[in-house]
Amino acid sequence: MQSLDDFAAGKLRELDRNNLHRVLAETDRLDGVWVERAGRRLISFCCNDYLNLTHHPAIKAAATAAIARYGVGSGASRLVTGNHPLFGELERRLARLKGSAAACVFGSGYLANAGIIPALVGSTDLVLIDELSHACLWTGARLSRATVLPFRHSDTTQVEALLDRHRGRHPRALIATDGVFSMDGDLAPLPQLSALAKRFDAWLMTDDAHGLGVIGGGRGSTFAYPKPVDVPLQMGTLSKAIGGYGGYLCASDPVIDLIHNRARTFVYATGLPPAMVAAALAALDLIEREPGYAALPLAKAKTFARLTGLPEAQSPIVPLIVGEAEAALAASRLLEAEGFLVTAIRPPTVPAGTARLRFTFTAAHPDGEIERLAALVGKVLPRQVESVAP
């Protein structure tokens, strides 16, 4: 239809003008570290496969065995016939790891966030959300139709002021934040947020997509502090360090029972395929068995940050903010020419004026490559970034 195509073409022209048009690049991930793109072998410093489990032989074998035993798909919603026996085992394991009474596995992390928040709060309620929280946490907050008030990144003084002012007008209040911020790599101030949540009778929810497996002894951001923090709603994903796909919520028995009944993305979506559940179980085995291995991505990120003079890494994610989208694209192209794949991160994934390179570190990154990358970033990149900056 002409009007439809004209609309799309107009929108794309606008994106082009602002250097924000994104295109898919075919990428053959050869293992947990190396990729092939347009016939070139590159070392990737931008995957979330922190423990290189996407290609781990034991994880692949577990997935293959589950397909042979249970089939490829789940066949229906978990509330109909899709609840294959592996789910219970994974949910017990996740709950144990996270120190909660129960857990619920969703089709993905995005689906989890889009389903959890609207199941717990509604139009008369209040949601306070860190401004830099992941897009799908925002999606859940908006879908709930609650009053959504963003707070400045990790600013607990503002959280306190907002609760003081608004809490009394709403029957229920939720504080939502990433545990590890996906584009910045820093940890949320969970002990302070937990204390405020208790004081104002608000419910604290963390999105721990980038914490599970690599932070807090593998148990996630809740366990990254001197004392474990009381977080009654711990959400996460199986798609990063776990190496597969799927999302989850760890919470109390009644909350999980309610989620089974009220979360639309759980009730009305097909259960996660058995292979992914089996892969997650094998990944948890490995993380619990090999804490030294699970600690490597953070250690490597710290080394890189030290070598480049960037602030100390708190997670395997190290951002280098360059400003404008064009500058981030140029910096990414420069690294690619030297054999490093580091995708430029542009708005709206990050706020305008904070386009960046987001370096991620995995257990298997060779130290020599990290040193080569750090040398390049330290010497060549700042000059290149300056020369393309407006």
Ligand X SMILES: Cc1ncc(COP(=O)(O)O)c(C=O)c1O
Cβ 280 to ligand X shortest distance, Å: 11
Q: Which residues pair with 317 in a beta bridge?
A: 360
Total residues at interface with ligand X (CB under 6 A): 13
Q: List the one residue from 45, 50, 70, 110 that touches ligand X (CB under 6 A).
A: 110
Q: Which long-range contacts (CB under 8 A, 24 or more apart) does 33-38 make?
A: 33/362, 33/364, 33/365, 33/366, 35/341, 37/341
239 is a site residue for ligand X (CB under 6 A): yes
321 is a site residue for ligand X (CB under 6 A): no
Sheet bearing 344-345, strands edge to edge: 317-323, 355-360, 344-345
Residue length, the chain? 390
210 is catalytic: yes
Helix or strand or coil: residue 28? strand
Q: What track of x and - describes contact with ligand X for positions 89 through 108 (by CB under 6 A)? A: -------------------x
**56 Cβ partners below 8 Å, 6+ apart?**
32, 243, 282, 283, 286
State the residue number with the nearest CB to ligand X. 109
Given the residues 134, 240, 300, 365, select the one marked as catalytic: 240
H or E element in which residue 166 lies: helix 156-166
209 is a site residue for ligand X (CB under 6 A): yes
Q: Look up residue 167 and give its DSSP letter.
A: G
240 is catalytic: yes
Q: List the one residue from 32, 82, 109, 220 that touches ligand X (CB under 6 A).
A: 109
**182 Cβ partners below 8 Å, 6+ apart?**
134, 209, 210, 317
Q: List the one residue from 91, 125, 178, 326 that touches ligand X (CB under 6 A).
A: 178
Site for ligand X in 119-148 (CB under 6 A): 134, 136
* Residue span binding ligand X (CB under 6 A) among the ranges 12-20, 204-212, 292-300, 365-373: 204-212
Cβ 341 to ligand X shortest distance, Å: 18
Closer Cβ to ligand X, 238 or 374, answer by number: 238
Q: Which residues pair with 139 in a beta bridge?
A: none
Name the nearest CA neighbour of 305 among 384, 381, 382, 371: 371
Cα 111 to Cα 247: distance, rounded to the nearest angstrom: 7
For residue 126, what are its two tokens? 């209040």
Closer Cβ to ligand X, 130 or 207, answer by number: 207
50 is a site residue for ligand X (CB under 6 A): no
222 is a site residue for ligand X (CB under 6 A): no
Q: List the one residue from 222, 237, 314, 315 that touches ligand X (CB under 6 A).
A: 237
Q: What track of x and - describes contact with ligand X for positions 240 through 259 (by CB under 6 A)? A: -------x------------
182 is catalytic: yes
- The widest CA-to-CA distance across the chain, in whole angstroms, is 61
Cα 357 to Cα 347: distance, rounded to the nearest angstrom: 12
List residues binding ligand X (CB under 6 A): 108-110, 134, 136, 178, 182, 207, 209-210, 237, 239, 247
Q: Could you list the active site residues?
A: 182, 210, 240
